[in-house]
Amino acid sequence: MATLDWIILIMFFSCLVGVVLWVVKHKKDDTSDYFLSGRSETWLAVGAAIFAANIGSEHLVGLSGAGAESGMAMAHWEMQGWMILVLGWVFVPFYSHSKVFTMPEFLMNRYNKNTSSTLSIITLVSYVLTKVSVTAFTGGIFLQSVMGINFWYGAVGLVLITGIFTVLGGMKGIMTISVIQAPILILGAFTILILALLKVGNGTLIDGWHETVKYASSNGMTNMHLFHPKGDIWYDKFPGFSVFFGAAIIGFWYWCTDQHIVQRALAAKDLKQARKGTIFAGFLKVLPVFIFLIPGIIAAALRAKGILLFTDNNEAYGSLVSTLLPMGVKGIVVVGFIAALMTSLAAHFNSSATLFTIDFYKHHRPDASEHKLVVVGRIATVSVVILGLVWIPIMKSIGSVLYEYLQNVQSLIAPAIAAVFILGVFNRKITPKAGEWGLLIGALIGLFRLVLMVFDPGSHFDQVTQKLVTDPSLHTGIFAILKINWLHFCIFLFFFTMALMVVISMFTPKAGEQQLQGLTYFSQTPDQIKETRESWSVVDIVTSLVVVAVCVAFYIYFW
């Protein structure tokens, strides 16, 4: 980082202070403004915010590191633009009609309070353990590799600054900085991609792509679908079509039911703006494979040529930034990336505060004033900041393939939640008790496997290779469950939860028509159906089909 780069960075933080001061000056001290930006955002802000909430340091560090490690295998989780369309076209109308702030609140309306509380607890725990702390951990790695900042200063500083920004700015501040950050991030990332291709191709983009493909092919890194147990070196982790269906289950949970994503869509002023925002986000979601994963493969190819010298794959992207970008440009790009880290982290902080305030505090203090609820939300944000900081030392012991680790953990959280939402919206015969017990039992099964993973006797950290090494032969007794491929387990848990809910529904009382009104596909009122129909146009259909076509073309090319 040259002097000019630091000046640009200082200007960015000055701009950040300006955004906070503007928000504080114009804020309304009520929950709608603090948690949902007053439900006043346009499609541009909604789409940018959804994309910004998704792109965090797990992409800058984890996704590029996964590219350097296993190539295109992890691309399934990034080609989810079509799944964001499902949020906008199918689920947002139900969320919007019910006027909810949170996803647990929706489940309380559809099922009962116990179902709502279970989802809140699962979500809050997952945010602290796999979102906040992981983002801080990987952010520390990125700042260290690019700016030379000590890991702990970078990680702790990122969390504290973002925490202050979230407490003062709320959702309005997050949405505002997202619109500023998204174009800088995209342009900067494409700049790195082009420079990396030129570097590996000795000055030619086409040659750079051919060299990248050549390197990836020689290391079994080019295919998204793997069908040969003996021929594909990554088959044991990503077998056949299971990787597609497993990624789809995780993708549905993340894009259609996870609080910190759906909250951005609910901030839209109406259904029309929410749907257009999700279509815009669908276009943006196609980009991470090209701007993060493929650069990770290129970084590995440059390392093989002796041009880059990183040893840990998590440093792949940071090595490209620090080595390839010229003075000034580096500062602008780093600003975009830091903004991305902050908006992603702020999204989790704000969503955690929303969950605690609306689903726990307001339930026990229904007469609390709007001002009091906002204050509690700010206290909840500070608490999540502290818990995230406490968990960072534990996260520092994670193995090398961080992005794979994240998806592995999420594969235990997603199935039960996805099953409860899908059956809840599309099958009015599913009873409140079925939703309650289906979510609880499915979550406990996933948690049980997660505990086994933590105490796995077959895993150890190899100090020589700096990787997490697993010996399946040591998986005996109850640990034999870990022999089941994580994607196969994800698919099994999804269908098991659905079957369990159907069976329970046969023996428990059904929800009344009044409770179900507007919450399921087959119980919408004529006014709700009319509102939904009037919210989309032919342009929305065409642009959505383009997103799907891009995803299909990508799958065909990297089959």
Does 129 have pLDDT greater than 80? no
Residue bearing the bigger pLDDT, 471 or 488: 488
Which tokens is 243 given? 């990787």
Domain assignment of residue 29, given as a range:
3-557
Residue bearing the bigger pLDDT, 39 or 318: 318
**pLDDT for 297:** 92
In whole angstroms, what is the distance from residue 267 CA to residue 47 CA?
A: 11
Does 241 have pLDDT greater than 80? no
Does 220 have pLDDT greater than 80? no
* pTM greater than 0.75: yes
Sign of CA dihedral 317, 53, 532, 498: positive
Cβ(69)–Cβ(313) below 8 Å: yes
**pLDDT for 467:** 55
- The terminus-to-terminus CA distance of the chain in angstroms comes to 40
Q: What is the pLDDT of residues 35-44, one digit of tens each?
A: 554 566 788 8
Q: What is the pLDDT of residues 491-546, one digit of tens each?
A: 999 999 999 999 999 999 999 888 888 888 888 888 888 888 888 899 999 999 99
Cβ(258)–Cβ(156) below 8 Å: no
Going by their DSSP bridges, the two strands 459-462 and 467-470 should be labelled as: antiparallel
Does 398 have pLDDT greater than 50? no
Residue bearing the bigger pLDDT, 53 or 489: 489
Q: What is the pLDDT of residues 265-274, one digit of tens each?
A: 888 888 899 9
494-512: b (≥16 Cβ within 10 Å) or e: bebbbebbeebbeeeeebe
In whole angstroms, what is the distance from residue 202 CA to residue 129 CA?
A: 43
Q: Which of 343, 378, 516 is nearest to 435 (CA)?
A: 516
Which tokens is 347 given? 């999204």
Cβ(93)–Cβ(532) below 8 Å: yes
Average pLDDT of the segment spanning 38-61 = 76
Residues of the chain above pLDDT 70, percent: 84
Residue bearing the bigger pLDDT, 107 or 11: 107
**pLDDT for 399:** 47
Confidence grade of residue 400 (pLDDT, cut at 50, 70, 90): very low
Return phi, psi of residue 468, to 5°.
Answer: -80, 120
Task: List the CATH number of the domain containing 51.
Answer: 1.20.1730.10
Cβ(435)–Cβ(118) below 8 Å: no
Which tokens is 468 given? 């997490």
Total domains in the fold of the chain: 1
In whole angstroms, what is the distance from residue 440 CA to residue 434 CA?
A: 10
Q: Which of 289, 286, 306 is nearest to 297 (CA)?
A: 289
